[in-house]
Structure 1
Amino acid sequence: MTLVRRCCVSSDHRYQYRLLAFVSIAFCLGSATTGATAQGATGLLTEQTAVEQALADNPSLMAMQLRYEALLAVPSQVGALPDPMLNLNAMNFPTDSWDRDQEAMTQLQVGISQVFPFPGKRGLHEEAAAFDAMAAGHSVDEMRIQLVQNVKARWWQVYYLDRALDTLNKNQTLLRQFIAVAKTKYETGKGLQQDILLAQLELSRLMDQGIQLEALRQHQAIALNTLLDRPAAERFDIPVKVPLSMPALRDEMALYEAAEMYRPTLKQRATHIEAARSRLELAEKDRYPDLRLGVVYGARDGDNPASVGGSRADLFSVMLGAQIPLYSGSKQSKAVSQRTTELARSRYQLIDEKGAVRAAISASVTDYRRSRRQFELFATGIIPQAQLTVQSMLAAYQVSEVDFLNLLRSQMTLFNYELQYWKALSEARQALARLEAAVGQGDLYE
């Protein structure tokens, strides 16, 4: 009896030591959840570094920039005079002899002619092309801010998945401690085998969730690498420690006004209106004819009749021509109607774009404020309360006042709250990135 009693006491001591160690680990891991420690920053892909790499290396942005630079060369081309025409003519050669001096009108001519568009047309051509180039420049700026927004969104998604994987790994460690404690209690006759099975099942479920999170992380990393023009499978790490502050935003009307000043897509639409107005004026001027001026010098051989005497004189001619808008009703008038419609369309497109920008601002503000409130609630209320609940249940479980299932549920609830904490932080930062893109630039904060 004494030997059996000593064995039981020894088993109880081992169980208590394991349980105390488990409680210590659970407390440390739970406390570390919302105060993640920083890793070394050397070689890490920070949000700012990712943005800088994308702006420097993204091929789509480079292609758009080169298109803009190509369009800058167009205005001077369309605003220049048409190239002059050089003419070399052999005129009025007799077919019986082909002699230059047989007929008085036989001559070799050299001439040059130049078309002069009606005054104002060249300037309007150049002006419309300049507006097109300016719009292309705004499209480059728009693509740049959209690229920054996409990079930031992908970066914060990867950040969330990294924190989710860290949290999951910590909870897997806790569940292994759960299993060890459940086994100890079962061996001492104070626990149930189903407690062990429940903990093992929950551990397997977390392992499955980890597989899914790893795959999601790889997909987001591939998308981010593509934006940075890096190999899709290239591995990278991002820092754990990030700013947790959530600044207050300006009111939405102020953000609307900032967007109308700075958002490139609105500037692009406004520039399209100016280009359409220039083309309408050009269509109206097409009712007036272009002029053609030419000069010709004709060299002749042979002599004049005896009554006149002397060699034949060379000839000089001046020619003036003009286009006749003979089909104005089906051509020039239709062009004016077309350009008028295009101008109206451009105006409506600007109105529609303003509405879309305002909607994007309002949606981003709503998402940010919601995520901010959730983040603060999880950080200051829900997670600390859930941690205290788990610690209280651990103490109660030690003296068999709480069953294992409730303890397990409380820990899984804490795990889910921790995931929502990191998700709220990530979604708030992504909402800020969308808001920055919607406004264009300017101060967003109070």
Structure 2
Amino acid sequence: MSPVISVLDSVRRGCLSIQRPGFVFLSLIVLNGLTGSVSGAAANAEKEPRLTLSQAISFALEHDPWLSGSRFDQQATEAKAESAYQLPDPKFSLALANLPTDTFDFEQEAMTQLIVGVSQSYPRGNSRQLKRQQLYQQSERQPLLRREREAKLTLTVTQLWLDAYLSRESVRLIEQDMALFDQLADISMAHYTSALGRTRQQDLIQAQLEQIRITDRLTRLQQKHDVAEQKLLEWLLPSFSETGQDIYIAEAYSDELPRLSPISPGTLQAKDITNRELADYFVHHPLVQALDQNIEMAGIGVQLAKQKYKPQWGVNASYGYRGETPDGRDRADLFSAAVTVSMPLFSSTAQDKEVEAAIASQEKIRTERSLMIRQMISSFRSAQAQISRLEQRQQLYHDKLLPQVKRQAKAALNGYESDNGNLTEVVRARISELNTRIEYLEIQVEQLRQIAQLNYVLTTTAAESEATTETRLYKEPGNKALKNTGANS
């Protein structure tokens, strides 16, 4: 038998022979502290690696298949851009023309010839250059989308980690008081059966009901913890295509809340900041810049539609071999060349409508961009207001509410010890203190969650924008910077 169990057994046996209920509660408090210290020592002895928020985010970013797929998508689009810039393949032909059907003699008729031809078509206007530029614009969206994915993944993992932490810590707070509630129910039963103090049957029933409610609440919180943990594990699994790798997730979360702070510059923290200033800042968000790329792509689409007003050229050449005459004289071979042109003379309405549709598509993307900036401004102000109010609530709980509920619980216990109170008041005071501590923890976690949301909204991609602009500059056909870069490399 362990020393803790021996002490528990001795105290419980002594409770039946002691006439003062205050000594019983004093024994419970001392016993509760003794049990906590022993369990804390055991936890320190069997210390396991703790999963911190930064570790979870780093692992999720490192093993996110979407980021790898985005890089492959960018490579594929750039390859398509180079392919779209090439001329269509030439067409070769081989024909036997004017062969007499009575004798099938190649040299019988002068018109009979073996013709070898080649033809080449050229797209309308600058269609090749524009299509190449449009595909490169599409590929340049991928770094922006990857930056947004990283920020979104950071937000998602942070929220799931905080959910798991909140439920785990709430369970721990309840479990710390569960032993005391169980002992209160046992002692109230002992008092009732031995007629000690003023314990009534309704006090006993009330204590048992509160014990059942606490047990149910503990089960619900454990359920939330299991769900949050499984959702978090979705982002902490390695890619199944990576052979020979495995994951070792810590079995416990860090006991300390992470330190998060808004990444906004000082100018955005001013209370009198205008929506115009916020809009100027949010144009650097990766999603907004991705829409800017879509607007440029749509603009190129308008130019592509206008290219259909221009003619489409084609050239073809053929060489005809003829055999000798029946008396053995040579015949001259024949060479032909032609130029073809496709003119949009009878289909101008189709071209007009295609240009109109392309312009409308571009304007639609502009409205989506404006709507996204408005949503970001709203999210920024909402998160900023919630963080401010949560700070006020946190200060109120820390300075006034928590000390007050502790004094209330102590006063209820003192009243019961002096036989001026009942057991129900003691139990409810302890439950009120427990609820206040859990609410204080929820306020802290919610504040961090809002900071994470604010940091996502404030994500910028200034470096990515410069990189994509430089990439477009060096990849445009005929640009001198392309030759200089090649020479330098």
- Range into which the TM-score falls when normalised by the shorter chain: 0.7 to 0.9
Q: Which residue of 2 is the match for residue 202 of structure 1?
A: 210
Match of residue 260, structure 1, among 265, 283, 290: 283
Query: Which residues in structure 2 correspond to 1:121-140 (within 5 Å)?
Result: 121-140=127-146
TM norm structure 2? 0.78
Q: Which residue of 1 is the match for residue 225 of structure 2?
A: 217
SS at match of 1:414: helix
SS at match of 1:337: helix
How many Å apart are 1:140 and its aligned residue?
A: 3.1
Q: Which residue of 1 is the match for residue 336 of structure 2?
A: 317
Please say if residues 256 and 361 of structure 1, whose CA atoms lie closer than 8 Å, have aligned partners that are also in contact. Answer: no
How many Å apart are 1:239 and its aligned residue?
A: 1.1
Gaps of 5+ in 2: 1-13, 37-42, 241-248, 463-489
Please say if residues 39 and 240 of structure 1, whose CA atoms lie closer than 8 Å, have aligned partners that are also in contact. Answer: no
Q: Distance in 1 between matches of 2:173 and 2:451?
A: 25
Match of residue 298, structure 1, among 316, 320, 334: 320
Q: Which residue of 2 is the match for residue 381 of structure 1?
A: 400
Match of residue 118, structure 1, among 124, 135, 154: 124
Q: Distance in 1 between matches of 2:100 and 2:235?
A: 74
Matched, 1:47 2:62: no
Please say if residues 368 and 432 of structure 1, whose CA atoms lie closer than 8 Å, have aligned partners that are also in contact. Answer: yes
Q: How many residues align?
A: 425
Query: Which residues in structure 2 correspond to 1:251-400 (within 5 Å)?
Result: 251=270, 256-261=279-284, 263-303=285-325, 310-400=329-419
How many Å apart are 1:115 and its aligned residue?
A: 1.4
Q: Distance in 2 between matches of 1:373 and 1:175?
A: 32
Q: Which residue of 1 is the match for residue 470 of structure 2?
A: none
SS at match of 1:297: strand
User: 1:116-164, CA deviations, whole angstroms, 9 ceiling, x for partnerless residues?
Assistant: 2234221111111112222244233323322221111111000000011
TM norm structure 1? 0.85
Q: Distance in 2 between matches of 1:28 and 1:86?
A: 95
Please say if residues 39 and 239 of structure 1, whose CA atoms lie closer than 8 Å, have aligned partners that are also in contact. Answer: no
Does the C-alpha gap of structure 1 residues 196 and 242 become closer, same or farther in structure 2, counting only changes over 3 Å? same
Query: Which residues in structure 2 correspond to 1:54-133 (within 5 Å)?
Result: 54-133=60-139
State the AA in 2 paired with 1:93.
L
State the AA in 2 paired with 1:240.
D
Does the C-alpha gap of structure 1 residues 183 and 248 become closer, same or farther in structure 2, counting only changes over 3 Å? farther
Q: Which residue of 1 is the match for residue 256 of structure 2?
A: 241
How many Å apart are 1:65 and its aligned residue?
A: 4.2
Q: Which residue of 2 is the match for residue 168 of structure 1?
A: 174
Matched, 1:189 2:212: no
Most deviating of 74-83 and 273-282: 74-83
SS at match of 1:325: coil
Match of residue 179, structure 1, among 175, 179, 185: 185
Please say if residues 125 and 311 of structure 2, whose CA atoms lie closer than 8 Å, have aligned partners that are also in contact. Answer: no
SS at match of 2:427: helix
Please say if residues 107 and 300 of structure 1, whose CA atoms lie closer than 8 Å, have aligned partners that are also in contact. Answer: yes
Q: Distance in 1 between matches of 2:30 and 2:461?
A: 49
State the AA in 2 paired with 1:222.
Q
State the AA in 2 paired with 1:215.
Q
Most deviating of 214-223 and 110-119: 110-119
Most deviating of 67-76 and 407-416: 67-76
Q: Distance in 1 between matches of 2:174 and 2:72?
A: 46
Q: Distance in 2 between matches of 1:42 and 1:49?
A: 15
Q: Distance in 1 between matches of 2:34 and 2:384?
A: 36
Most deviating of 19-28 and 378-387: 19-28
Q: Distance in 2 between matches of 1:140 and 1:194?
A: 63
Most deviating of 415-424 and 401-410: 401-410
How many Å apart are 1:376 and its aligned residue?
A: 3.0
Q: Distance in 2 between matches of 1:332 and 1:152?
A: 51
State the AA in 2 paired with 1:350.
R
SS at match of 1:357: helix
Query: Which residues in structure 2 correspond to 1:147-162 (within 5 Å)?
Result: 147-162=153-168
Q: Distance in 2 between matches of 1:416 and 1:393?
A: 16
Please say if residues 393 and 443 of structure 2, whose CA atoms lie closer than 8 Å, have aligned partners that are also in contact. Answer: yes
Matched, 1:142 2:148: yes
SS at match of 2:330: coil
SS at match of 2:161: helix
Note the aligned Cα RMSD (angstroms).
3.2
How many Å apart are 1:277 and its aligned residue?
A: 0.5
Please say if residues 371 and 428 of structure 1, whose CA atoms lie closer than 8 Å, have aligned partners that are also in contact. Answer: yes
How many Å apart are 1:60 and its aligned residue?
A: 4.2
Gaps of 5+ in 1: 1-7, 31-36
How many Å apart are 1:180 and its aligned residue?
A: 4.2
How many Å apart are 1:388 and its aligned residue?
A: 2.3
SS at match of 2:349: coil
SS at match of 1:12: coil
State the AA in 1 paired with 2:255.
V
Q: Distance in 1 between matches of 2:69 and 2:410?
A: 58
Most deviating of 199-208 and 188-197: 188-197
Please say if residues 15 and 181 of structure 1, whose CA atoms lie closer than 8 Å, have aligned partners that are also in contact. Answer: no
